[in-house]
Amino acid sequence: MRERLLLLLIIMLATAFFGEMKVNPFGGTFRFSLGIAAFFFGLLWFQSVPVLLIGLLTGAFTMWFRVGLDIVAYGTVWQESLFIHLPSVFYYCSFTLLFQIVSARRYVESPVLLGLIGATIDCASNLVELWVREISGVAPASWGESILVLLFFGALRSFFAVGLYNSFSIRQVRAVGEVRQQELERLRMINTGLYEETFYLRKSMTQLEEITRESYQLYRQLLSSENTESSRALHIAEHVHEVKKDSQRMLAGLLKIINQKELAPQLSISELCGLVIRANQKYAEMMGKRIQFTGKCDVNLSTSQIYELLSVLNNLVANAVEAIPIEGKIELSVGFDKREIIFHVRDNGAGILQEDREWVFELGYTTKYDREGKPSTGIGLTHAKGIIHSLDGTLRIMHESEPITHFEVRIPTDQLLREEGGLCFGFS
């Protein structure tokens, strides 16, 4: 209720204020002003406002507003001023009545038609006001000439209000679209993190299956030799089997989240690279670093399952951000080479020593330490290489003549086009 009253007050004040920006085409008290454009815009934009009520209240408020101005500015007697401005109340009441009858708000998706409807309503309401003024003894010189002027100014004000409404609507839609896009990107990043967990969970399940098999074989061997520890071996095998079943249930839950279609729409490689760059721009800003990101994509492929590539590229680019001390450059480019798609990630950060290059993909190896001197986990590049290998691809460090760190990812195109067990791409 309070919000509705506030909207009513805004419309009344705007109408009264812009109503003073006026012209008097017939040389008398009849006026054309921007107040009607503001009033029409308010009716379109604030759709929760009751139309007939706001017409009556705005007409009365505008009339007394003008009476007050006449008294303060010109010392006019209030009865005389009231007699002059009273016909404007009939204009606003007529406008809202016709607006309600034709249900003008239904046509907001058709700007030209809405503009014509608004112009017609404006002209008709002005005729009502002129008729009231004629009864009061102040009539225009020529009704034919008056109607033409009314049509002109009515169309001018109506299309101005409709244009302003559409401009604000487009801006609002764009703002909502940007928020939606940011939310989708955030959800993709969350899904990417979940994908990384499922990758390791799959690996653990394979190992658990192997341990279960070996434990059971050990039980059979001990049982055949009548060893008293055979029951213990069977107990171990049963427990490992239960852990594997729990892992399968967790994996099924994670895959159900990751494979939600509304969170994983088809995405082009170009858009995917843009997502990686935007995410790491925010990461660099959070770390207080000034980094210039460059993206180049010469590949016209799209994907509906993006988390493998997103995980790998995000890992490589994030490493590049961490390797740059204060300011630097990072380049992410994509291209074709025969039957392979190639991703290049370059940065001019601290670089990797020649003797360290053969170790960077080893599990647990790291050159990154926090402020307390604690080392990083050292699993990022190992994880990235594991994903690439699952696609029959390669991940390697390239030798550059300049002090630049250059990672290259090569993946066979047929692997990127496959549907089961990995990425699913299609030509866009």
What pLDDT does 291 receive? 92
According to CATH, the superfamily of the domain at 264-420 is Histidine kinase-like ATPase, C-terminal domain (3.30.565.10)
For tokens 């490493």, the residue is: 319
The encoded tokens of residue 311 equal: 């995980």
Percent of the residues in the chain that have a pLDDT greater than 90, as a whole number = 7
- 3-class SS at 357? coil
Q: Which residue blocks in 287-348 are alpha helix, DSSP H?
A: 307-323
The encoded tokens of residue 56 equal: 């009556």
The secondary element (H helix, E strand) that includes residue 301 is strand 301-303
The secondary element (H helix, E strand) that includes residue 302 is strand 301-303
Q: How far is CA 330 from the centre of its chain?
A: 25
Note the pLDDT tens digit of each residue in 142-162: 555 567 777 777 788 888 888
Question: Cα–Cα distance between 199 and 255 in angstroms, integer?
Answer: 11
Residue 333 has pLDDT above 90, yes or no: yes
What pLDDT does 401 receive? 63
Q: ∠ CA(314), CA(320), CA(323), 5° rounding?
A: 140
Question: Cα–Cα distance between 381 and 364 in angstroms, integer?
Answer: 10
- 3-class SS at 33? strand
- Average pLDDT for 151-177: 83
Among 138-142, 210-214, 362-366, which is the least confidently predicted range? 138-142
CB of 324 closer than 8 Å to CB of 347: yes
- Contacts of residue 95, defined as CB under 8 A and 6 or more positions apart, other chains included, come to 36, 39, 40, 55, 121, 122, 125
> CB-based burial of residue 1 (10 Å sphere; 0-12 exposed, 13-18 middle, 19+ buried)?
exposed
Dihedral sign for Cα atoms in the order 317, 320, 322, 325? negative
Using CA atoms in the order 11, 12, 18, 22, what is the torsion angle rounded to 10 degrees?
130
Give how far Cα 226 sits from Cα of 212, 216, 231, 232, 237, Å.
Answer: 21, 15, 10, 13, 18
Confidence at 169, pLDDT banded by 50, 70, 90: confident
Give how far Cα 171 sits from Cα of 105, 161, 178, 212, Å.
Answer: 19, 15, 11, 60
Regarding beta strands 301-303 and 290-297, do their DSSP bridges make them parallel or antiparallel, or are they unpaired? unpaired
Using CA atoms in the order 124, 93, 161, 30, what is the torsion angle rounded to 10 degrees?
60
Question: Cα–Cα distance between 39 and 16 in angstroms, integer?
Answer: 9
Record the pTM. Answer: 0.50
User: Which of 153, 125, 130, 185 lies closest to 306, judged by CA?
Assistant: 185
User: Which of 31, 97, 96 lies closest to 66, judged by CA?
Assistant: 31
Using CA atoms in the order 57, 59, 60, 65, what is the torsion angle rounded to 10 degrees?
120
Give φ, ψ of 23 to 5 degrees.
-135, 155
Note the pLDDT tens digit of each residue in 38-54: 888 888 888 878 888 88
Q: Choose between 27 and 201: higher pLDDT.
A: 201
User: Which of 77, 63, 56 lies closest to 16, judged by CA?
Assistant: 63
Question: Cα–Cα distance between 172 and 176 in angstroms, integer?
Answer: 6
Task: Provide CATH 3.30.565.10 ranges for the chain.
Answer: 264-420
Note the pLDDT tens digit of each residue in 15-46: 888 777 766 555 555 556 777 888 888 888 88
CB atoms near residue 18 (< 10 Å): 17
- Contacts of residue 318, defined as CB under 8 A and 6 or more positions apart, other chains included, come to 280, 283, 380
What pLDDT does 332 receive? 93
Question: Cα–Cα distance between 381 and 379 in angstroms, integer?
Answer: 6
Please, what is the average pLDDT of the chain? Answer: 77
The full length of the chain comes to: 428
What pLDDT does 423 receive? 39
Give φ, ψ of 285 to 5 degrees.
-65, -40
Regarding beta strands 425-427 and 290-297, do their DSSP bridges make them parallel or antiparallel, or are they unpaired? unpaired
